[in-house]
């Protein structure tokens, strides 16, 4: 017991000594704290955004003098500017997919601004909505079939970017013919032609900005215009990247088939790739086989050699 008491006494003396040393040391000055706080403040800042002048969609002016329109546009600019990770992905993917979409829009006489509709619909991915819309253009199965796309267990051409873009263009041109406005045509892409027509009749309005619409459709045009503004002015909105940071399209060669394919895994190996790569370039192929009892002609994209490791 005496031995233990001696140890405890020694520990007590050391503790007092340590306490005395720390007590006499000078703590951080107020000046140092201020400097640290200033440094932290300079690390990241969030700013209110100046509203751009003369915003428009497909050449149709957005009436920013209307305070409701101003606030809704301000919301979408803020949300999409400060959702930085998503914004950077849109820049990266656009480099890969816009060159495919743009000439098709031009071919069908659809304004170039509609490529931003695809951005807000799917983030330029082959997304699937809770309602069952699929692909970059988020097309429902019935609409796809009505416009000549094949949709079944074997093949779903809503995932075929070129063909799906053509269907979107046809739909948009019909809507423009019905409503006389590209802005309303874009809103109808979200709510349906009947949905927009019914709201116009109920409310006696003939302008998107004068209609009271549901949450999603009500934000729709503002989201498109916000992405258009940000993606055309990356530095202005704080997005910094080099061209080398953006995703690149991989050149492909076309292989035509007009009969069944029993095994796409073997098919891919025969063409110097694996099944995963085959699917990346042909997402509209939904199974590892193709029945094709009718002898329909399909074109398969095979990536050129040298773009994937070992191939």
| Residue pLDDT, tens place only, 217-262 | 999 999 999 999 999 999 999 999 999 999 999 999 999 999 999 9
Question: Which pLDDT tens digit goes with each residue over 87-140?
Answer: 999 999 999 999 999 999 999 999 999 999 999 999 999 999 999 999 999 999
285 token code pair: 């192929």
Residue 156 DSSP symbol: B
Do residues 257 and 294 lie in contact, with contact meaning Cβ atoms separated by under 8 Å? Answer: no
Do residues 182 and 57 lie in contact, with contact meaning Cβ atoms separated by under 8 Å? Answer: yes
pLDDT of residue 279: 98
Residue 165 pLDDT class (50, 70, 90 cuts) = very high
CA distance 218 to 221: 7
Count Cβ neighbours within 10 Å for each residue of 264-288 and write b for 16 or more, e otherwise: beebbeebebebebbbeebbbbeeb
Pairing of strands 298-303, 56-57: unpaired
Count Cβ neighbours within 10 Å for each residue of 42-71 and write b for 16 or more, e otherwise: eeeeeeeeeeeeebebbebebebeeeebee
What is the average pLDDT across 203-227? 96
**Residue 71 to residues 67, 74, 119, 213, 227, Cα–Cα distance (Å):** 6, 5, 22, 16, 16
Q: Which of 106, 81, 89, 60 is nearest to 209 (CA)?
A: 60
């Amino acid at each position: 017991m005496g031995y233990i008491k001696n140890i405890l006494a020694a520990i007590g003396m050391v503790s007092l000594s340590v306490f005395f040393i720390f007590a006499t040391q000078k703590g951080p000055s107020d000046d140092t704290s201020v400097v640290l706080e200033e440094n932290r403040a300079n690390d990241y800042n969030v700013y209110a955004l100046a509203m751009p002048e003369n915003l428009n969609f497909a050449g149709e002016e957005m009436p920013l003098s209307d305070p409701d329109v101003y606030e809704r546009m301000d919301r979408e600019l803020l949300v999409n500017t400060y959702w930085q990770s998503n914004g950077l992905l849109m820049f990266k993917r656009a480099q890969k997919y816009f060159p495919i979409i743009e000439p098709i829009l031009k071919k069908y006489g659809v304004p170039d601004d509609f490529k931003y509709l695809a951005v807000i619909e799917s983030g330029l991915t082959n997304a699937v909505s809770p309602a069952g819309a699929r692909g970059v253009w988020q097309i429902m199965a019935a609409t796809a079939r009505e416009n000549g796309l094949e949709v079944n267990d074997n093949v779903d051409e809503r995932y075929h970017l070129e063909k799906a873009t053509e269907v979107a263009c046809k739909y948009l041109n019909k809507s423009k013919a019905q409503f006389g406005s590209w802005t309303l045509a874009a809103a109808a892409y979200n709510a349906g032609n009947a949905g927009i027509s019914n709201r116009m009749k109920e409310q006696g309005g003939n302008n998107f900005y004068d209609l009271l619409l549901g949450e999603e459709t009500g934000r729709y045009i503002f989201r498109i215009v916000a992405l258009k503004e940000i993606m055309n002015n990356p530095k202005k909105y704080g997005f910094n990247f080099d061209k080398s940071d953006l995703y690149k399209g991989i050149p492909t060669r076309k292989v035509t088939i007009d009969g069944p394919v029993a095994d796409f895994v073997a098919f891919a190996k025969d063409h110097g790739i694996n099944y995963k790569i085959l699917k990346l370039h042909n997402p509209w192929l939904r199974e590892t086989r193709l029945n094709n009892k009718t002898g329909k002609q399909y074109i398969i994209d095979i990536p050129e050699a040298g773009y994937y490791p070992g191939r």
